[in-house]
Amino acid sequence: MRYLKIEKDRTYEFLEKLKKYGKLYAPVKISDKFYLRKEIEDVKEIAFDYQRTLLPLKKYFLPTCEKMFDIDIEKNEYRENLEKIEPFVIFGAHACEIVGLRILDGVYLNVYPDIYYARRRKAGIIIGLSCLPDEYCFCNLRRTDFVDIGFDLFFHELPDGYLIRVGSQRGHEIVDENIELFKSVEQKDIDAFREFEERRQKSFKYQGSFDNIRYILELTANDRLWDEESEKCLGCGNCTMTCPTCRCYDVQDIPRINLKSGERIRFWDSCQFRSHGLVAGGHNFRETKKDRFFNRYVCKNSYFYPLGTSYCVGCGNCTYFCPANIDFQKNLDKIRSNYEVIHG
Ligand code: SF4
Ligand code: SF4
């Protein structure tokens, strides 16, 4: 891997140059509690120390709502929505989010490639940014706190700038085209990088691993915790909308008033909605709130074989944004200790 350094006072210059590669999106602070990733005009407004944004990275590749195709009933044809996707740059993706995107790639690219997702993925440049965990983060337990693939460039904070890892051909090109902004990495930078990584590891509230949690969950469907916690759940779906790896969508055909044409749209759906498990004939595969609640825990903890991790990357978003204060990580911990009391 190629390593470079950029000094702090040249970082904004580089961010400005990034705009020539496409629209620049990055996190900005919008209130005491919230950050939002949005298009950047003034690079000085970028927040480098954010923890999580209102919506995760997936919104750029899997929009909340999009037209899939137009239908013409008279001509008996459909036209896919293949409007040109302009190139864009995302600055400031955290490691767990990049792993999240790779999980979405596994779903949307690998077996039956989704053209809408694939075109956006091709158009997007991903620039990662190091971070320190807050009390909600448990990406260390998921082994997603450091990423070695899935980005074009990755910025690691140093006292006087950033150590940059180059992760793709496009990353090399961007660096080479702006080479006057970068320096070689010196031993003091490597020492500072190591010190930051040690500090990061020690800052996690939880230590250990969640490697066996998926097996434990499968055995605890009747645990009373699911009754108690699902009782508090409002069924709002915030946990799934803010999750970087939740990927379910619903599809609707919208006829035009002439009934001769129409369009098919898809939009984010949530397994926490009653309608999600409802099928023709009125049968519902997840009839109760408890069914839906438990399903999310099993789904997020299932093993995503291609990456050797679970579908949960440990970002803590679902807990942070839950209006009922339901703590996803704590529930997993409780269920694990319940199991250990019974069987340990
Ligand atoms: S965010 Fe909280 S209250 Fe809303 S559906 Fe998820 S667990 Fe339930
Ligand atoms: S389940 Fe919660 S902690 Fe895990 S990736 Fe989704 S939002 Fe993040």
Find the ligand nearest to 321 CA. Answer: 1
- Model confidence band, residue 337 (pLDDT cutoffs 50, 70, 90): confident
315 lines ligand 2 (CB under 6 A): yes
99 lines ligand 2 (CB under 6 A): no
- What lines the ligand 1 site, CB under 6 Å? 233-239, 272, 322-324, 326
Has residue 247 got a pLDDT over 80? yes
Has residue 229 got a pLDDT over 80? yes
CB-based contact 41:35 (threshold 8 Å): no
The DSSP-derived string for 241-271 is HT-TT---EEEEEEE-TTSSEEEEEEEE--T
Return the SS3 of 24: strand
CB-based contact 135:170 (threshold 8 Å): no
Name the residue with tokens 């298009």. Answer: 39
CB-based contact 131:85 (threshold 8 Å): no
The pTM is what? 0.94
Task: Give distance in angstroms: CA of 326 to centre of ligand 1.
Answer: 7
241 lines ligand 2 (CB under 6 A): no
Query: If you average pLDDT over residues 213-221, what whole number do you get?
Result: 88
243 lines ligand 2 (CB under 6 A): yes
Task: Give distance in angstroms: CA of 206 to centre of ligand 2.
Answer: 15
24 lines ligand 2 (CB under 6 A): no
Q: 112-147 pLDDT, tens per residue?
A: 899 999 999 999 999 999 999 999 999 999 999 999
The preferred substitution site among 228, 234, 243, 286 for testing ligand 1, maximizing ligand atoms within 8 Å of CB, is 234
Alpha helices in 178-315 (DSSP H): 187-203, 213-218, 224-232, 238-241, 289-301
Has residue 343 got a pLDDT over 50? no
Find the ligand nearest to 325 CA. Answer: 1
- Model confidence band, residue 210 (pLDDT cutoffs 50, 70, 90): confident
> What count of Cα atoms within 13 Å lies in the side-chain half-sphere of residue 24?
22
Task: Give distance in angstroms: CA of 325 to centre of ligand 1.
Answer: 8
Query: If you average pLDDT over residues 170-195, what whole number do you get?
Result: 98
Query: If you average pLDDT over residues 263-272, what whole number do you get?
Result: 97
d(CA 302, CA 286) in angstroms, rounded, equals: 18
313 lines ligand 2 (CB under 6 A): yes
332 lines ligand 2 (CB under 6 A): no
Strands 23-29 and 88-93: parallel
Taking residue 33's Cβ as centre, other Cβ atoms within 10 Å add up to: 8
Per-residue model confidence (pLDDT) at position 304: 87
Signed CA dihedral, 204, 208, 214, 219: sign only: negative
Per-residue model confidence (pLDDT) at position 340: 61
CB-based contact 298:217 (threshold 8 Å): yes
Has residue 151 got a pLDDT over 50? yes
